[in-house]
Each structure stands twice: as structure tokens, then as C-alpha cells.
Amino acid sequence: MSVAPVRAIRVLLVDDQPLVRSGLRVLMADTADLEVVGEAGTGTEGVRLAAEPRPDVVVMDIRMPGMDGIEATGLIAAGDALIAPGVTRRLIADFVRVPGPVASAAPEARAPRPATGITEREREVLTLVGRGLSNGEMAEELFISTATATSHVSRLFTKLGARDRVQLVITAYEMGLVAAPR
């Protein structure tokens, strides 16, 4: 009895930030059973591409201009997963270690960006977001309610001009609040 070869999982990346798409593509390139079959910079383009290569998985950003990721996901198949905070942290940590044109300068070579305009508590929350903690985990660590942790994260989105949690993680690295694991 012969065993059929295992087909790679076909992945479509949808994010309006080319840097995030590039980082995901680089990470997935090192995994033999994952194949990136397309990239889209908008929800509308993601919906169109999802019909063409018929991906098994769509990695979708939630906040995008025009058609957001939630609306686009509703139009594609039964996608219902989001990147977990721990995965986001690992993605960014792996990304900052990648040499080449995607990661322009090593994080150690850059001076940390000052954390102006945020409170000390928000700085603590940003550090924990950078470490990949969920709102519930942050609440436990800071001895606050999950609703309060969520409020702090929401204020960080506004104050730092971040669209999503990945941007907050990147900001935490840029501010020197979190160091890439060695």
C-alpha cells in the first residue's frame, strides 16, 4: 500500500501592511508543509484571491481601510480564527531576527523610541502586549479586571496610532520595552 504525499497547507495572507505580509511569508517559507499561495493588501482583494488559488487557510488582518478583515472573512468560507497574542509575539520576535531586506536594521542597532504620551500603567500594559500576553493574562499579572486591561489596550491603540495588536508589539520592541529573545 502506497502512502500519498502530504499536500502543503495553502495559505493566503491578507494585510494592508507589506511589512507584516513579508514577515509572515518569511516565517512560512521555512515550514515545509505551508505554502503561501497569494498576498492581498485589502479585504476586497483578499476575497477575490480566496476564490482563485482556493487556499486552505486565510491569515486576515482585522483592521484595514475599506473592507475590513471581519467583513472579508464573512465573505470567504468559514474562517473564524485570529492570531493569538502568543503567536503574534513569536512572529515579531522571529521577524526581528531575520537578516536581509525585510528587516532593515538590527533592533540592537536602533536607539529605543521614547514612550511619550502614555501613562506608566499603559507602559506596563504595552510591555505585556509586547511579551504576547492576552488581555486576561495581563489582568492577572497586573491585578486588574480584564475589562480594565482591555481599556488600557484600547487607549494604547488611540494614543500610539496603532491599528492592531501587531503594531503594538512592534511599538513595544521599538521603545525598548521588550527585547527579542536570543
At residue 55, the pLDDT reads 87
Segment (H or E) for 27: helix 18-29
pLDDT (tens digit, 9 = 90+) per residue, 26-59? Answer: 888 878 888 999 999 999 999 889 887 788 888 9
Question: Which phi and psi (to 5°) does residue 13 adopt?
Answer: -100, 125
By the 10 Å C-beta count (0-12 exposed, 13-18 middle, 19+ buried), 4 is classed as: exposed
Contact (Cβ atoms closer than 8 angstroms) between residue 112 and residue 121: no
Residues 6+ apart with CB under 8 A from 169: 88, 89, 92, 129, 130, 132, 178
First-to-final CA distance of the chain: 45
Bigger pLDDT: 114 vs 26? 26
Contact (Cβ atoms closer than 8 angstroms) between residue 43 and residue 14: yes
Q: DSSP assignment, residue 40?
A: E
Q: Is the pLDDT of residue 14 over 90?
A: yes
Secondary structure of residue 17 in the 3-state scheme: coil
pLDDT (tens digit, 9 = 90+) per residue, 165-178? Answer: 878 888 888 888 88
Query: What sign has the CA pseudo-torsion 168, 172, 178, 180?
Result: positive
pTM for this entry: 0.49
Mind listing the domains of the chain with CATH numbers?
9-82 (3.40.50.2300), 107-174 (1.10.10.10)
Contact (Cβ atoms closer than 8 angstroms) between residue 132 and residue 89: yes
Bigger pLDDT: 86 vs 69? 69
Q: How many helices (H) and strands (E) in the chain? A: 8, 3
